Each structure stands twice: as C-alpha cells, then as structure tokens.
Amino acid sequence: MATPQEAQRERQKGFLNPHLVLAFAFWITTVCMVVAVVASILAIWRFTGTDALWRTVATCAVIGAAALAFFFLNGLFVLRDD
C-alpha cells in the first residue's frame, strides 16, 4: 500500500517530470534576473547605454516569463491512469 506522500507524487505527474521542469524554470529565471541586474548596474555606471539596458531587461523578462509559463503549462497536462 502506498503512503500518502507516494500517492500525492503519483497524482502530481505532468507531461514531463515536474521536478525537472521546476528546476529548469528556477534556474532560467534566476539567470535572467542576474543578467538583468548586471545590465542595470552597468547602465547605472555608464559602461553601457540605456538602449542596451532596456533591450537586455526586456529579453530577460520574456525568457523568464516563458520559463515560468512552461512550468505552469506542464502542470496542466496531467497524465491520469484512471
């Protein structure tokens, strides 16, 4: 007989492994945040222009949002063995 934790894990199946998708989304979002912060600091100290700053921040926002959406959508596509 399965323990409650094992039963919950069985119900949390997505189309892909939820733990791998969560790790992927976390690291992509974290890298995007770090890149955006570095670009902002470089723009503040005038090592780069504001045009490059806004393009970098916008790109990071799009990539980070896509990673989070990928994680969310994976949870919607649940495989059930019913």
Residue where the block lists tokens 């596509």 = 77
Listed in sequence order, the residues at least 6 apart from 1 whose beta carbon sits closer than 8 Å to its beta carbon are none
**C-alpha to C-alpha distance for 47 and 55, rounded to whole angstroms:** 15
**C-alpha to C-alpha distance for 28 and 48, rounded to whole angstroms:** 24
Cα distance from N-terminal residue to C-terminal residue, the chain? 17
pLDDT for residue 65: 93
pLDDT for residue 58: 93
Residue where the block lists tokens 């700053």 = 53
pLDDT for residue 28: 94
3-state secondary structure of 22: helix
pLDDT digits (tens, 9 = 90+) for 11-54: 556 778 888 988 999 999 999 999 999 998 988 888 888 888 89
